Amino acid sequence: MLIASTLLALSLSLSASASLAHSHLTSPRRSHEALTRRGGRPHKRCSIKPTTPVLTSEPAPTSAPIPTSTSTPGSEGGASGGSVTLSRGIPSEGIRGVNLGAWFVFEMYMAYDEWQSMGGHTDGCDAEFELTGRLGQDAADAAFKTHWDTWITQDDVALMKKYNLNSVRIPIGFWIIESTVNADETYPRGGLEFLKRGCKWLREAGISVLLDLHAAPGASSPHQTFAGRCVDTPGFWGNQDNIDRHVKAGTELMRLVHTDPDSFGSVYGMEVLNEPPNDAGASPGYQDFLQQFVNAVRGVEDDLNIPQDERLTMVFMDISWQYGDGKANPATIESGGNAYDKHTYFNWGPPGGPQGSAGHSLDEHVSFVCNGDAGQIAADAQQNNTPLFKGEWWLLPSNKADNSGPVFDLWDKDSVRRFGDAQKRGFSPDGGMGGAGYYFWSWKMTNSDGDGLNHMRSYKDAVAGGWMHEDAAQYFNPNGGC
- Tell me if 145 is assigned to some domain: yes
Distance (Å, whole) CA 121 – CA 125: 8
SS3 294: helix
pTM summary value: 0.86
Distance (Å, whole) CA 264 – CA 202: 9
SS3 312: coil
- Tell me if 1 is assigned to some domain: no
Distance (Å, whole) CA 300 – CA 291: 14
- Tell me if 35 is assigned to some domain: no
Provide the pLDDT for residue 449. Answer: 61
Domain that holds residue 264: 54-481
Output the domain CATH number for residue 58. Answer: 3.20.20.80
Residues involved in catalysis: 275, 392
Distance (Å, whole) CA 259 – CA 300: 11
Query: ω before 47 within 30° of 0 (cis)?
Result: no
Helical ranges in 260-361 per DSSP H: 261-264, 286-303
Q: Which residues of the chain have pLDDT under 50?
A: 1-86
Provide the pLDDT for residue 319. Answer: 97
Are 365 and 396 in contact, with CB atoms under 8 Å apart?
no
Q: How many domains does the chain have?
A: 1
- Tell me if 239 is assigned to some domain: yes
Distance (Å, whole) CA 465 – CA 455: 7
**Strands in 164-259 per DSSP E:** 167-173, 208-215
Phi first, then psi: give them for residue 257, nearest 5 degrees.
-60, -45
- Tell me if 33 is assigned to some domain: no
Distance (Å, whole) CA 15 – CA 322: 20
User: Which class for 343: exposed (0-12), middle (13-18), buried (19 or more C-beta within 10 A)?
Assistant: buried
User: Rg of the chain's alpha carbons, rounded to an integer?
Assistant: 20
Phi first, then psi: give them for residue 133, nearest 5 degrees.
-65, -35
Provide the pLDDT for residue 89. Answer: 85
- Tell me if 417 is assigned to some domain: yes
Distance (Å, whole) CA 191 – CA 193: 6
Distance (Å, whole) CA 311 – CA 334: 14
Q: Provide the angle, in degrees to the nearest 10, between the axes of the packed helices 372-382 and 362-370.
A: 30
- Tell me if 398 is assigned to some domain: yes
Tens digit of each residue's pLDDT (9 = 90 or more) over 277-336: 999 999 999 999 999 999 999 999 999 999 999 999 999 999 999 999 989 999 999 886
DSSP character for 318? -
SS3 80: coil
Distance (Å, whole) CA 323 – CA 444: 31
Q: Provide the angle, in degrees to the nearest 10, between the axes of the packed helices 286-303 and 240-259.
A: 30
- Tell me if 151 is assigned to some domain: yes
User: Which class for 307: exposed (0-12), middle (13-18), buried (19 or more C-beta within 10 A)?
Assistant: exposed
Q: Which residues pair with 390 in a beta bridge?
A: 342, 438
